[in-house]
Amino acid sequence: MTCSIRIAVDAMGGEFGPRVTVSALLACLARHSNVTALVFGDQLSLEAELAACADSDLRSRIDVRHSDISVSDHDKPSAVIRTKQSSSMGLAVKAVSEQEADACISAGNTGALMALGLINLKTLPGISRPAICTTFPTMSGRTYVLDLGANIDCSSEQLHQFAMLGSLTASLLDGVDDPTVGLLNVGKEETKGSDDLKSAASLLENDDSINYGGFLEGDEIFKGAAHVVVCDGFSGNIALKTSEGLANMVTAMLSDLLSKSWLARMTVGLANRSFKQLIDKLDPAFYNGAYLLGLNGVVVKSHGSASKKAFGHALDVAIEAAEHNLPKALAPLLKTKLMKNIVSE
């Protein structure tokens, strides 16, 4: 797709602020000639970072909007709604709600971003709470996993909603016909899991519009056992952080091995391309960027500690969702699914 896309960037979010967000944005704009950006944050800090850009075309595609208010990781979402809607994060979300931007991205406080999204954008039809959704690498490609931390406790109805959102997203973005959906559980047996999980399984089994494959365990995520994996935010966040930690450990161990063994370096040299592909697939930076799926607007959350490469990938995620106009595409499909469920009841 080559339609023009405008991204709203909370440049002050995350551990590194403009030093990472601005440099990542410049690299992103160089990759995507159809993208422009609204950048929100302290103007002096932003201009200082942009001063290093020698490409006048790239600079002309960035519109800096000043805000001297930022959201910290310690701010409570309720306090942000009361006192910080004019923050860099709040203005980025508002740009989407006022149709100044097609998507927004922030590496800041997740709870605050969710709250601002709910206040400004509302939810899609039939969705009570948005879910954090991203893709995990698998042996056969990638799988969508949600929720990854927005909702620590989830009702069976919410898990059912997440399944609908994930299934439709996999179809729209990956072109998967009738994607399989699995519920993350401590075992595959029907008797295992919480009451909410068992009830969610019943809802999915009775929903003909969802290709439900049953319970799956954590190790099956990376086998590609399902196109979509649904879980509560507590389990999902642990799965995400554990997988990232494992990937970083394996990468560090490989690097250590190469630094100590000339034979290993020679072997890698003979298979350099394959080795690089393996390292890339293991690198969590290539999977940074999660949708706040279920909001009536594209909002993408980046890790707070994201590097330039990782934040750049999150920008790519936001652009892809904006190019597909994901919420607008999801809304009528959700209505159709909900109507089918009402009729079947």
* pLDDT per position as a tens digit, 101-157: 999 999 999 999 999 999 999 999 889 999 999 998 888 889 999 999 888 899 999
Residues 119, 201: contact at Cβ < 8 Å?
A: no
Alpha carbon dihedral 97, 307, 12, 108, in 10-degree steps, equals: 60
3-state helix, strand, coil in the chain (%, to 5): 50, 15, 30
223: pLDDT strictly greater than 70: yes
H or E stretch at 316:
helix 308-323
d(CA 177, CA 182): 16
CATH architecture of 1-127+294-325+334-345: 3-Layer(aba) Sandwich (3.40)
Q: What is the mean pLDDT of residues 35-61?
A: 93
Q: Domain residue spans in the chain?
A: 1-127+294-325+334-345
Q: What is the pLDDT of residue 342?
A: 52
pLDDT interval class at 343 (50, 70, 90):
very low
Q: Indicate whether this model's pTM tops 0.85.
A: yes
Most confident range (mean pLDDT) of 92-101, 245-254, 283-292, 335-344 is: 92-101
Residues 214, 188: contact at Cβ < 8 Å?
A: yes
Residues 103, 322: contact at Cβ < 8 Å?
A: yes
Number of neighbouring beta carbons within 10 Å of residue 60: 9
The closest alpha carbon to 45, from 88, 76, 86, 75, belongs to 88
Q: Which tokens hold the place of 26?
A: 């410049």
Q: What is the mean pLDDT of residues 171-200?
A: 92
254: pLDDT strictly greater than 80: no
